[in-house]
Chain A
Amino acid sequence: LYEDQIKKFDWRGVNVGALKQSRVDLNHFQPRILVTTYEGVVASLCVKTGELVWRQVLEQKPRGDVKLLQVSGFADDSSDTAAAPMGSNMGFDMLTVQGHAPALVRGWNTNMGALEWEWSIMPMNTERAQDAMWIYSKSVLYHVLPAWRSHLEVTAYFASSGHSTGSTSKVIAPWITSESCTLSGTFYVCTDGKQLISLDLVSKSGQVIRTSLEAEPKGKTQALTGLNGVVIVDGKPISVNKDQSICGDLRSSSFAVGSFNYRKVLAYADLSSGILRINALYLDNCAPAAELEQSLPFPEHFGTPSLSNFDCKQKRNGEGKNCLFLFSSTSESIVAVQHGRVRWSREESLANVIDSQFVDLPLADTEGTLENEMKGKAGDFTSFERDIASAFLRRITTQAVQIRSLFLHVIGLGPPPTDTQRAGLVRDSFGLHKMLVLLTRAGKIFGIDNVSGKHHWQLHLPNVIGFANDEQMRLIVQRSAKHFPLQPLCTILGKNAVSGNGVLYRFNPITGKVAEGGLVQLDYRIKQLSLLGETEKDFLKGILLLDASNKVHVYPEHAAPLADGMYLYTADLKTAELAGYFVKYAGGQLSSTHIWNARLGGHNSEQQIIGVAGKNPIEHVHSQGRVLGDRSVLYKYINPNLVAFVTQAPDSTHKSVLNLYLVDVVSGSVVFTMTHRKVRAPLSIVHSENWLAYSYFNEKLRRTEITTIELYEGKSQANSSVWSSLQAPPMPLVERQSYILPTIVEALRETITERGITNKHVLIGTASGSIVEMPWHLLDPRRPIASTTQGREEGAIPYIPELPLPTESHINYNQTVARLRNIYTAPSGLESTCLVVATGLDLFVTRVAPSKTFDLLKEDFDYILISIVLVALTSGSLIVKHLASRKLLKQAWK
C-alpha cells in the first residue's frame, strides 16, 4: 500500500453504540451533545450533523460499564458546580462513573475529550458491588450499595478528589428487591403492592415516604432523569418528592426534562401509526408549551423511538423551532428531531454486526438480454440444423433490438432505466463493486455500497432475536444476481422473541424491498439449518431446517427432493456431544435418521466446546499437492467434511487444558486430536483447504501463540477422482508447528478467491484494532528447523518462532477498528483480489491482493506515455519509409 492509495480502496465507519445517557446543551459557548452508550463509549456529537467530535472507547465490560453521567450546567438544579478552570484539578466539565470493582470516577474535558483526573474505589464485597448505584448532589458523590431485603449502605465522597466525607451510613430497608426498586435523583423508590416506598438518601431525617397508587404497577418503574424523586409507573409520572410536584393525568412512553424560556419543561413523545408526536408542559403551572409541539412522520426502519434528552436555544424570538430532541430507538439508532423533521440520524446498530454477505450487483439491461440469449441457446437441444438457425435468428433479432434501443435512447424516447441502474447499482467489469449486506444484533439489515460506503437501504425486523447458546441470526443468500431477469434473494433466519419459534424473512438485497411474502412465522423451534443446492426451476437454494424434535423441513417446499442424501450434525456446547443425522426423502416425505454420536467431553463431561470451524463451502483448492525437494508430490488431504472442534476444561494439575478434535461429520470418525496444557481462551480458529490455524493464550509462558496444522495424504492419492467419507479414507499425515504472536488475537480469517489460484493469507485481527495480513508460508508447519540446502522445498523459510508483524502488513494502516470482533472475506470477480470487511465497534471495508494484482494493470500505468511513444514510432517509421523510397528512386536515376 502506497501513500497515494490511502482511502482509495477502503473506508471506515465509526460508531459509538446504542444510546444509554445523553445531554443536549445548545446554550454552551460551544453547542454539544454528550452521550454514553451501552458499548462503553463516551462521545461528543456535532449538533448540526451528528458526526463525532470526539470519542473515547472505555474498557471492556464490566469495567467499562458507565453507571453515571454528570455534566456541569445550569439546567439541573442539583448540580451547582462551576466548570473547571483550564489546567486545574478541581471541578469538571463532565463526570462519569464506570465499573464496579474497581469503580472508576473520571473527569473529562468536553471540548477535546481529554481525561483530566481519575480516582477509583475498591469495594469489600465485589459481588454485591454489581448492584451499586451512584448519586451526585452538591459536589458530593454518593455510593449506594444495596443488600437486598436488608439495608442500604450509603458512602459519600467528594466528587473531584475521591476523599471520603465520613463513615458509611446504613439505612435499614427490609423491603428492597432488585426487581422492584429504582433510584431517582436522591430518592430510592420501591414498589410494594399498590404503594411506593421511598427513602431520601441524602437528607438527615431518613424518613420513609409512602405514596399510594391507583393500581398495582405491571412493569418495572423507571426513573425520570432530570427531576428529583419522580418515577414513571406504567407510563405515568409519579412524584414521591414533596418539593417537586408533577402534573397529573400524563401518560406517554418516554419523557424528558429540559428548559424553555428559562422555565422547566417536561416533554413527552409518542409514536402512533408512523407519526411521532412531541408535546411539552411547563412544570410550574402545567400549562402546555404550545411552541414545542411537533408532529412528523417517523420512518419504520428506526423502530420505536424513546425521547432521551432535549434542549432549546435561548435568546431567539421565543419560538420553539430551535429545540433539538434526541431520541434513541429499539433499532439502536440515534435520531435528532428539529423543526418538525428528522435532522440527522446515526445508525449505531452497526456496532453489533453479526453476519455479513457480499452480494453481486445485477447486470445492466443490455447485458441482461445477451445473457438471456446465451441461456436460451443452451436450453434448446433440438436438432442441430434448427438450433443453428434459431441461434442465428436470435442473434440478429437481439442486435436489431439493441440498435433500435440505442436509436431511441439517442432521441430520448427510450424506456426509463430501472431503479437499480439509476442508483448506479450495476455490476462493473471486474466484480469489485458489490452490495454489502450487514445483519445486526438489533434486527436491522443494511445494504451498503462496498466501494463508497453509502447506505442504500435499511430494514428493521422487530421481535426477532438470535438463537440460544450465543448463536446469532443467519443471513443466507438464496439466489444471486446471475440469473437474469430473476431478482436476487436473501433470507434471514432467527427466533421469535415471544414464542421462541423460528422466523424466516425474505428480501431483495439490491433494493431492500420485501420479496416473496417477507416474514414467515414457523410453528417449530429451529435446532440447525443447512443450505441445499439450486433448483432447476427458479435457481433457488433451498434451506434445510432441523427442528427441536429432530424433524426435517425444507423451505421452499419444492426444493425438498434436493435434501435426499444430506448429512447433518449438531454440537452441544456444554456437554460437548456431537450427533450426526442422515436425511432421506422417500414417498414425498422427509425423515432424518440418527447415525452417529461422539462425546468429546471426557470421562467427567467437564470439557466444553469453545470453537467450531468448518471449511468455507464455496472455496476451491486449485493445487492438489505440494512439491517436495526431490520433485515428488505430497498430496493434500482435502476432506470437505472435516470440522475442527476445540474444547476446554479447567484441570487440577495444569490449570486449563485445551483439546482439538478433527472430526469427519459425515461418518463421525475422529481424524486427529491434539492436547494443549496450560492454555486458555481467547481462541480464534481458521480452517481452510488442508490446513488449520488457531491462536490461544499460553498461561505458562504468558504469551499468545498460534498453532498451524496441515494434513497430507502421502506420496500417492488413494482415489484421485472422488472423495467419499464412507469408503474408509486413509488417515492423514499431520504436520504441526507453533509460533509466537506479539499481540492478542481477536479474529482470524483466511483470504478467498474464486478459483483458488492466489496464495492464501491469514488476516489476523488484533485487540488494538489492526488487521495484519500474514502470508501462509510464514505460518507453514513445514518450515525447516535445520537449514540444509539439500532437499529444500520451494519457498520454505527456516523456522523462527517469533512471527514478524511489519507495519506494511497492516491493511488498515492507522484506521483502527475499535473492539474488533470479526472479519469476513469474499471473492471478487478478479482472481487476485479478495474483499474484506472487519466488524467490531467500527466497520472497515477494503480489499487485499495476496499475490499482488497479477491480472490487472497498475493504477499508475502510464497510458499517455505509451500512446505517445507508439504513435511517434509508427509515424516515424512511415516517414522514414517514404524518405528511403525517395532515396532509392534518386539513386536509380543516377
Chain B
Amino acid sequence: MSAKQNPKKLKWALDFNGSKNADIPSPLGYNPSALVNQSEVVRDQRLVIKKSWDLALGPLKNIPMNLFIMYMSGNSISIFPIMMVGMMLIRPIKAIFTTQVTSKMAEGAQGTGQRIVYFLGNLANVALALYKCQSMGLLPTHASDWLAFVQPQTRLEYYGGGISFV
C-alpha cells in the first residue's frame, strides 16, 4: 500500500544526475600534484640496497668467529670438534644452495655484485672448514688414506716342493 502511494505523496527527493555537477570547481586549496612523494621513493631504494649488502657480506663477517671457533676446538678427533667442523662445512654449503631464495631480496642495480660477494663469502667459509679438516687429518690427501684400495700383486710364478723325501 505504501508503494502505491509513493509517486503521489513524495515529500522530497534527491537527484544524483552527475551531468549537472560536472563543472563544479575544486575546493579551495586543492592541489592535484600533492600525492606524489618523489623524495620518499629515493630514500626507500637506498635502504633496500643497504640491507642487501648486509646480507651479502654476512658470510664474510662470520670468518673471524669461525677462526676463533677453530682455534678453540683443537686438532684432536673427538665428538665436539667433529660437530663444529661439520656445522662449519654444512652451513655454508646449505647457504650456497639457497642463494636463489636469498637473491630475491637483491633486486636492483647492484644485485649481480651482491650475489657474487655472497657466493664467494660462502666459498671462503667452506675453504676454512676444509683447512680445518686437513689440520685434523680428515682429508684423504696422503697415500695411507688410499691404502685400503690397493690391490694385491698378481704372482706370475708358482712353486712347490720341500724337504727331499729320499
Chain A residues within 8 Å of B27, by CB? none
B154 sits at the interface (CB 8 A) = yes
B68 sits at the interface (CB 8 A) = no
User: Of B145, B147, B152, B164, which one neighbours A570 at CB under 8 angstroms?
Assistant: B164
Q: Using C-beta atoms within 8 Å of the partner chain, give the interface range for chain A.
A: 35 or more
| A299–B144 alpha-carbon span in the complex (Å) | 62
| A789–B145 alpha-carbon span in the complex (Å) | 21
Q: Is the CB of A609 within 8 A of B147?
A: no
| A623–B152 alpha-carbon span in the complex (Å) | 8
Give 1 or 0 for each of B144-166: 1 = CB within 8 Å of chain A CB.
11011011111111111111111
Chain A residues within 8 Å of B152, by CB? 620-621, 624, 638
A37 sits at the interface (CB 8 A) = no
Q: How far is the CB of A666 from chain B (nearest CB, A)?
A: 5
| A88–B142 alpha-carbon span in the complex (Å) | 78
Known: A567-B160, A633-B144. A526 touches B153 (CB 8 A): no
Q: Is the CB of B165 within 8 A of A528?
A: yes
Q: Is the CB of B143 within 8 A of A723?
A: no
Chain B residues within 8 Å of A632, by CB? 142-144
Q: Is the CB of A469 within 8 A of B163?
A: yes
| A311–B147 alpha-carbon span in the complex (Å) | 72
Residues from 608 to 641 in A contacting B, C-beta threshold 8 Å: 609, 612, 614, 620-621, 623-625, 627-628, 631-633, 638, 640-641
A544 sits at the interface (CB 8 A) = yes
A667: nearest chain-B partner, CB-CB: B157
Q: Is the CB of B165 within 8 A of A471?
A: yes
Known: A631-B137, A723-B156, A726-B157. A469 touches B165 (CB 8 A): yes
Q: Is the CB of B161 within 8 A of A548?
A: no
A530: nearest chain-B partner, CB-CB: B160
Q: Is the CB of A531 within 8 A of B166?
A: no
Q: Is the CB of A722 within 8 A of B166?
A: no
Q: Is the CB of A720 within 8 A of B160?
A: no
| A758–B13 alpha-carbon span in the complex (Å) | 108
Chain B residues within 8 Å of A531, by CB? 160
User: Of A567, A571, A725, which one neighbours B163 at CB under 8 angstroms?
Assistant: A571
A438 sits at the interface (CB 8 A) = no
Q: How far is the CB of A559 from chain B (nearest CB, A)?
A: 13
Give 1 or 0 for each of A550-571: 1 = CB within 8 Å of chain B CB.
0000000000000001111111
Q: How far is the CB of A605 from chain B (nearest CB, A)?
A: 16
Chain A residues within 8 Å of B153, by CB? 624, 638, 717, 719-723
Query: What number of B residues sit within 8 Å (CB to CB) of A?
Result: 24
Q: Is the CB of A666 within 8 A of B165?
A: no
User: Of A468, A530, A641, A717, which one neighbours B166 at CB under 8 angstroms?
Assistant: A468
Interface centre among B142, B152, B154, B166 (most CB of A within 10 A): B166
Q: Is the CB of A572 within 8 A of B157?
A: no
DSSP majority for the B interface?
mixed
A301 sits at the interface (CB 8 A) = no
| A723–B144 alpha-carbon span in the complex (Å) | 21
Q: Is the CB of A631 within 8 A of B142?
A: yes
| A63–B166 alpha-carbon span in the complex (Å) | 31
User: Of A468, A528, A719, which one neighbours B160 at CB under 8 angstroms?
Assistant: A528
Residues from 117 to 162 in B contacting A, C-beta threshold 8 Å: 137, 142-145, 147-148, 150-162
Q: Is the CB of B157 within 8 A of A725?
A: yes
Known: A566-B158, A720-B153, A722-B155. A548 touches B163 (CB 8 A): no
Known: A625-B147, A627-B144. A548 touches B157 (CB 8 A): no
Residues from 123 to 138 in A contacting B, C-beta threshold 8 Å: none
Q: Is the CB of A527 within 8 A of B160?
A: no
B161: nearest chain-A partner, CB-CB: A569
| A572–B144 alpha-carbon span in the complex (Å) | 43
Interface centre among B137, B157, B158, B165 (most CB of A within 10 A): B165
A665 sits at the interface (CB 8 A) = yes
Residues from 6 to 56 in B contacting A, C-beta threshold 8 Å: none
| A666–B157 alpha-carbon span in the complex (Å) | 7
| A338–B1 alpha-carbon span in the complex (Å) | 140
A642: nearest chain-B partner, CB-CB: B159
Q: Is the CB of B159 within 8 A of A567?
A: yes
A370 sits at the interface (CB 8 A) = no
Chain B residues within 8 Å of A638, by CB? 152-153
Q: Is the CB of B143 within 8 A of A633?
A: yes
Chain B residues within 8 Å of A624, by CB? 147, 150-153
Chain B residues within 8 Å of A495, by CB? 165
Chain A residues within 8 Å of B142, by CB? 631-632
Q: How far is the CB of B48 from chain A (nearest CB, A)?
A: 43
Q: Is the CB of A528 within 8 A of B150?
A: no
Q: How far is the CB of A493 from chain B (nearest CB, A)?
A: 9
| A533–B158 alpha-carbon span in the complex (Å) | 10
| A531–B158 alpha-carbon span in the complex (Å) | 10
B163: nearest chain-A partner, CB-CB: A571
Q: Is the CB of A528 within 8 A of B157?
A: no
| A565–B159 alpha-carbon span in the complex (Å) | 9
Give 1 or 0 for each of B96-112: 1 = CB within 8 Å of chain A CB.
00000000000000000
A467 sits at the interface (CB 8 A) = yes
| A794–B18 alpha-carbon span in the complex (Å) | 99
| A640–B165 alpha-carbon span in the complex (Å) | 23
Q: How far is the CB of A228 from chain B (nearest CB, A)?
A: 47
| A481–B143 alpha-carbon span in the complex (Å) | 41
Q: How far is the CB of A612 from chain B (nearest CB, A)?
A: 6
Chain A residues within 8 Å of B151, by CB? 624, 720-721
| A94–B158 alpha-carbon span in the complex (Å) | 58
Q: How far is the CB of A465 from chain B (nearest CB, A)?
A: 12
| A467–B164 alpha-carbon span in the complex (Å) | 9
Known: A567-B158, A726-B157. A527 touches B145 (CB 8 A): no
Interface centre among A525, A544, A567, A573 (most CB of B within 10 A): A567
A724 sits at the interface (CB 8 A) = yes
B154: nearest chain-A partner, CB-CB: A722
Give 1 or 0 for each of A703-727: 1 = CB within 8 Å of chain B CB.
0000000000000010111111110
Q: Can you identify 6 A-B contacts, CB atoms within 8 angstroms?
A: A624-B152, A628-B144, A631-B144, A641-B155, A720-B153, A724-B156
Please give me the 10 A-B residue pairs with the lowest Cβ-Cβ distance, nearest first: A530-B160, A467-B165, A631-B142, A569-B161, A723-B153, A627-B144, A567-B159, A624-B150, A724-B156, A633-B143
Give residues in A with beta carbon < 8 Å to B. 467-469, 471, 495, 525-531, 533, 544, 546, 548, 565-573, 609, 612, 614, 620-621, 623-625, 627-628, 631-633, 638, 640-641, 665-666, 717, 719-726
Other CB < 8 Å A-B pairs besides A569-B159, A631-B145, 7 of them? A471-B165, A526-B166, A567-B157, A569-B161, A620-B152, A625-B144, A722-B154
